[in-house]
Chain A
Amino acid sequence: DTAVSQTPKYLVTQMGNDKSIKCEQNLGHDTMYWYKQDSKKFLKIMFSYNNKELIINETVPNRFSPKSPDKAHLNLHINSLELGDSAVYFCASSTSPGQGASSYNSPLHFGNGTRLTVT
């Protein structure tokens, strides 16, 4: 069974469109993330949710809106897509950081990514 699954794997769309990427994890984790990987493989965190609450919100355009209906799901909606949004978007999950003696050694579990191409 896939631990962190995201759909679709590929997304090709035109500028100005609105699209969503879905993510689900079956690991029982309560923290989920969205990362953006550019063409040079550089990874940058976008958002993080802990138990459906937003805890990290990096400098990301308002066109990007995450939604967490429950702690096993974190979706990403993007409005008015631009050429510069083309990238691979990764969903990840972990146990809660910041709690207990092993609070900040919670490794991330990643999905296989969604390659978004905006034309």
Chain B
Amino acid sequence: GNSVTQMEGPVTLSEEAFLTINCTYTATGYPSLFWYVQYPGEGLQLLLKATKADDKGSNKGFEATYRKETTSFHLEKGSVQVSDSAVYFCALMGNTGGFKTIFGAGTRLFVKA
């Protein structure tokens, strides 16, 4: 079945550091890929998405490129802020199995001032 694997956290960075959170997936067919962010005490919010190979999703300085050859969708940001501290989830929605969205385990990011 479909699955998503993302790097374990927590990840601790200083403000203005470069961020990478790795995400790889296993899926049949051509899934859509997503990054969601969860701030403390809140639900998940869509951060960005990509629907086909080589698509780049971007939002709020975050980027991720859909790499079919490496089955990856790594999240990057050039300069993190304290306000980026949250839990980040990589996810996929496939075209099989009832179109379920499958989430990775989440990666907690702490950004220090």
Residue ranges of A at the interface with B (Cβ–Cβ < 8 Å): 4, 40-43, 45, 48, 55-56, 90, 92, 97-98, 102-113
Contacts and interface: CB of A to CB of B under 8 A. Distances in A.
B34 A107 contact: yes
A98 B31 CA distance: 12
24 contacts: A4-B43, A40-B105, A41-B106, A42-B103, A42-B106, A43-B44, A45-B100, A55-B98, A90-B43, A92-B43, A97-B99, A98-B95, A103-B95, A104-B95, A105-B32, A105-B51, A105-B93, A106-B99, A107-B46, A107-B49, A110-B43, A112-B41, A113-B42, A113-B43
A106 B93 contact: yes
Interface residue SS majority, chain A: loop
A43 B44 CA distance: 10
Contacts of A107: 34, 46, 49
